[in-house]
Amino acid sequence: MSDVIAPHVKKALDLIAEKTLQDETVIGAAFPYVTLPDGSWDTMSVGISAGYTGEDWSHGNWFCGFWVGLLLTSYLHTKDEKYLKLAHDRMVLVEERANDGNTHDIGFIFLSSAMPFYRITGEQRFRSAALKAADKLRSRLVVTDKGAYVSSWGPMEDPRGRASSAIDTMANIPLLYWAARESGDASFRLAAEAHAQMTMLSFRRPDDTLYHAVEYDTKTGDRLRGYTFQGAHDESYWSRGTGWAVMGLATSAANSGNMDFLSQAIALSEKWFACLGDKPVPPYDFDAEGSGVPEDSAASAIMAAGLLDLADLHPDASVASHWRKKAHWLIEGLCRDYLATDPKHRGILLHGCYSEPHKIGPDAAVMFGDYFFAEALCRIAFPDSFVPDYRK
Ligand code: GLY
């Protein structure tokens, strides 16, 4: 076990290591997704891809890589080889998704699994899988008169898919930056940079809140509409979106050298903290009304991970220190008030919210929240071990 890490960070990493190992013995070959009201994991098989059934869009299994990431963070924390073996076995299942060009989530799947697996072990097989996945992600680029974006959902030959863009694509493009460095092919980087530029042009409102999703005119690049899928309403401020954007902006600054991306990340973060107030976790949507509005601990975990990037990258030491403190404050709050220490609850963070409008995990542990929490903890406990160079 690591020995010089802060007690709250160690306690959380211990819990992750304990629960992932226990869950591996009961979940079979499927992958955890959101916790059910009784605290057990709802799971999904790896091969379920995103797609349309009539007019209904399903995201499929977009989270399988995060489970591998949790096993890898547990390996780094415990140095116990059995986590690496489990991560390898899971990776063999996840690998097939490198052929799935139907969704931007191919970025999430491989940047949380194959990339850190390769970084930790040097295993070429999974480097190749991550490069193949990056190639699929790059092929989702739609070039318009105004700029280019990586389309989010659906087969590219489906006009609904081509026109769609969601804010979380910003947190998928790090796979492209990594691929550019790894392969020497700058077109990966140019696609990601173009996407970040166009997203800020089309998603950012004048008050520094963001749309969750945008439908584009695929010829002109005009925004036909801004809307939401998981937020309260189309003009509302969905709290998870800002963390996704900050992550993509910081990575874009690191890889392009364009510091305007960092300034944008700071403006969005200032707005987010102004709305947050003194609690470490926001409501799932800052504009949701009524009583019993669910919180979203995942929004804070993702924001913390993005702010650690911002802090690592900012050239001004006092600005960097300000944002690092904010990230640590979020992590401390999550560790203090949101850890799922009851063994009956199988997740790591209580009170995440996958989708309140669809009532999917509206008050649950969510796999992506647990993963980005673990990633942030690892960055604090073992700087440079887990997060690859694309984030630098
Ligand atoms: N699909 C990403 C999110 O729910 O935030």
* Domain coordinates in residue numbering, the chain: 7-101+111-137+243-381
Given the CA of residue 240, which atom of ligand 1 is nearest to it?
5
What is the amino acid identity at position 27?
I
Tell me the C-alpha distance between 15 and 20, whole Å.
Answer: 8
Ligand 1 binding site (Cβ under 6 Å of any ligand atom) = 168, 230, 240
Tell me the C-alpha distance between 4 and 163, whole Å.
Answer: 49
In this structure, are residues 139 and 169 in contact, taking their beta carbons and an 8 Å threshold?
no
Given the CA of residue 366, which atom of ligand 1 is nearest to it?
4
| Residue owning the nearest CA to atom 3 of ligand 1 | 168
| Residue owning the nearest CA to atom 4 of ligand 1 | 354
| Residue owning the nearest CA to atom 1 of ligand 1 | 168
> Distance, CA 298 to ligand 1 centroid (Å)?
10
Where do we find the tokens 């924390």? 77
Among residues 276, 287, 282, 293, the alpha carbon closest in space to that of 228 is found at 287
> Distance, CA 210 to ligand 1 centroid (Å)?
14
- The yes-or-no verdict on residue 54 having pLDDT over 70 is yes
Tell me the C-alpha distance between 344 and 346, whole Å.
Answer: 6
Average pLDDT score, the chain: 96
> Distance, CA 152 to ligand 1 centroid (Å)?
11
Query: What pLDDT sits at residue 387?
Result: 77
Convert the pLDDT of each residue in 315-350 to its tens digit: 999 999 999 999 999 999 999 999 999 999 999 999
Q: Give all strands (DSSP E) within the chain, no chain letters.
A: 31-35, 41-44, 51-53, 56-58, 141-143, 148-150, 164-166, 213-216, 223-227
Convert the pLDDT of each residue in 176-207 to its tens digit: 999 999 999 999 999 999 999 999 999 999 99
In this structure, are residues 283 and 296 in contact, taking their beta carbons and an 8 Å threshold?
yes
Query: What pLDDT sits at residue 383?
Result: 87
> Distance, CA 59 to ligand 1 centroid (Å)?
9
- Give mean pLDDT, residues 63-92: 98
Q: What DSSP string describes 210-234?
A: B-SEEEE-TTT--EEEEE-SSSSST
Given the CA of residue 230, which atom of ligand 1 is nearest to it?
4
Given the CA of residue 298, which atom of ligand 1 is nearest to it?
5
Convert the pLDDT of each residue in 347-391 to its tens digit: 999 999 999 999 999 999 999 999 999 999 999 999 888 876 666
Give this prediction's pTM: 0.97
Q: Say which CATH architecture domain 7-101+111-137+243-381 belongs to.
A: Alpha/alpha barrel (1.50)
Q: State the angle between helix axes of 7-24 and 317-337 in degrees (0 to 180), rounded to the nearest 10.
A: 50
Pocket test for ligand 1, best of 63, 152, 168, 355 (most atoms within 8 A of CB): 168
Convert the pLDDT of each residue in 216-261 to its tens digit: 999 999 999 999 999 999 999 999 999 999 999 999 999 999 999 9
